[in-house]
Amino acid sequence: MNKGTKDLIDKPTFWGSFALLLVATVPLILFPEAGSLWLLAAKNLVTEKLGVFYLLLGLGAMLFVLYIAFSDIGRIKLGGGKEGPEFSTLSWAAMLFSSGIGASILYWSMVEWIYYYQQPPFQVKASSAEAARWAVSYGIFHWGPLAWSIYLIPALPIAYYYYVRKRKVLKLSQALAPVLGDRRVGGPVGKLIDTSLVFGMLGGAATRLGIAAPLITLGLHKLFGVPTGVGFQVGALIFCALLFGYCALAGVKRGLSVLSNFTIFLSLVLLLFVFIAGPTLFMLNSGLDSLGRALHNFLQMATWTESFSHFKQFPSTRFPQDWTVFYWAWWLVFAPSIGLFIARISGGRTIKAMILGSLFFGTFGCFLFFMVLGNYGVYLHFSGELDLVQILNQQGANTVIFAVLDMLPASQLVVLLYTLIALVFTVITFDSISHILAAVVQKEVHGEPLRWNRIFWAFALAVMPIALLLIGGLEALQAASIIAGVPLLLIALLLCISMVKVARHDLNLHPVILEKEIVLEGVAEESAWSGNAESGQVVMRSAEEISGGGKEESP
């Protein structure tokens, strides 16, 4: 590492983030029991006092991104007019889905319905037929368009600054310049925002990796008899971090793109096999039924707070707090890292294409997992072949997953495929999030962050999930996500304001034109919020004009 590369590091953000990581994890490792109690107490406080704001965030995020997509802002192209997309649509969708979801979809798609079946929403009787119908519907709601809309909140302004304003900085603070001003963004306020972002990303990644490690070790135990203790789960995380080194050396275009395409291919093979070998007609019927129920009750599910539960005469299920609020907080924690990553890989597309593509591919991919893997478990339980409720309550969620897989033909091959997918998903999580962590702590990013910087943050990512594995329990993982996401609630609102403000500023300098794509040029150095106080002219041209050599629009 030479002096030139050292000078690229934003030292206050780098060391501040690393110090926060140590402050958060060392006490959890030294005092796991007390740490678990503290996390759960903090989680309950946040969900009780701020739960309604998380629900408003989910609904507001979707309305906001749809407004952006179908306004003239949506026609703005991310990059120059002659530049096509950096990645093909299939590779882009694969990277978007793989980095945005990770191994968590393998876990939750198979067990989430059992939790809802035992503790259903809307005061429905537990373990009833109605509870079962709600149970298979709520999963696709929690993993649907609201989740991907939350991801897009930071993706939009970051992509705009990176590709339209030509600011080669992948920092959340930079995207807030229209609201906070260049001086604050470049000062202590900006450093604080970026440090909070890094801490939130570490907390969110801890949840995802903490779920993946037991899956991988239990799969290896089924295949090769490998022990499943915490030590081996820690070893699995370290192994994934080492395997990530391939991606760090190969770069995003070769490393992550190849891994993402490979993972999606394996996932489709798994889903197709289960779909054909399992109760195909039931999966289709239940999938369609649950989709219809989720769409029909969408607003009720998105806004339910169980407000009367504070009165003694009304029952309290805590369903909105324990599940919907948890999920919106979880997506929000991941939003900066996944949003920045979506921004990074979306060059050459219009803003509308980025938004609608993310919503469609993300939602559809999650729906397939719930329709196939989730409904296969539902069928096994209600047909009497497996008592998954009893297995969950007595042996845990991971045992449920592999009990379901064992019921398939060629179960050993299925377990091998499932474990391999979980492993590669985890490597992609290390890769994509460490890529963004490294970018945030650099002053500038030309192409990709420094390799040593990415590798450092990949191993730093493993620290917090190790602490949570020592504490143990699903509630501790949920609590970590909710707590880490609190500072991002206000930042999310500011990002929405910032996106509209900067895009409107650039568009309003020129008459509106009606082509499908709008290319804004000349905004890199001489417009407001571009690193100086001067505002200059912006050249707005359609993509067709640039590629065809047409005459420029001038103000």
pLDDT score at 553? 38
**Is residue 13 in a domain?**
yes
The domain total for the chain is 1
Domain that holds residue 22: 3-548
**Cα 56 off chain centre by:** 18
pLDDT digit string, tens, across residues 357-370: 999 999 999 999 99
Where the chain has pLDDT below 50, the residues are 3, 252, 514, 526, 532-543, 546-555
**Is residue 100 in a domain?**
yes
3-class DSSP state for residue 542?
Answer: strand
Phi (first) and psi of residue 518, to 5 degrees: -115, 125
Phi (first) and psi of residue 395, to 5 degrees: -125, -15
**Is residue 554 in a domain?**
no
Q: 348 in the Ramachandran plot: left (φ > 0), alpha (ψ -120 to 50) or beta?
A: left
**Is residue 483 in a domain?**
yes
- Give every CB contact of residue 210 below 8 A, 6+ residues apart in sequence: 465, 468, 469, 477, 480
pLDDT score at 522? 57
Measure the CA–CA gap between 468 and 461, rounded to whole angstroms: 12
pTM: 0.86
**Is residue 97 in a domain?**
yes
**Is residue 553 in a domain?**
no
pLDDT score at 554? 34
**Cα 534 off chain centre by:** 36
Buried residues in 515-528 as b, exposed as e (16+ CB within 10 A): eebbbbbebeeebb
**Is residue 555 in a domain?**
no
CATH code: domain of residue 535: 1.20.1740
3-class DSSP state for residue 242?
Answer: helix
Measure the CA–CA gap between 13 and 240, rounded to whole angstroms: 26
What would the two tokens of residue 526 be? 């001489």
pLDDT score at 166? 81
**Is residue 287 in a domain?**
yes
Cβ proximity of 482 and 326 under 8 Å: yes
R_g over Cα of the chain: 23
Measure the CA–CA gap between 421 and 299, rounded to whole angstroms: 34
Cβ proximity of 304 and 141 under 8 Å: no
Cβ proximity of 509 and 554 under 8 Å: no
pLDDT score at 480? 67
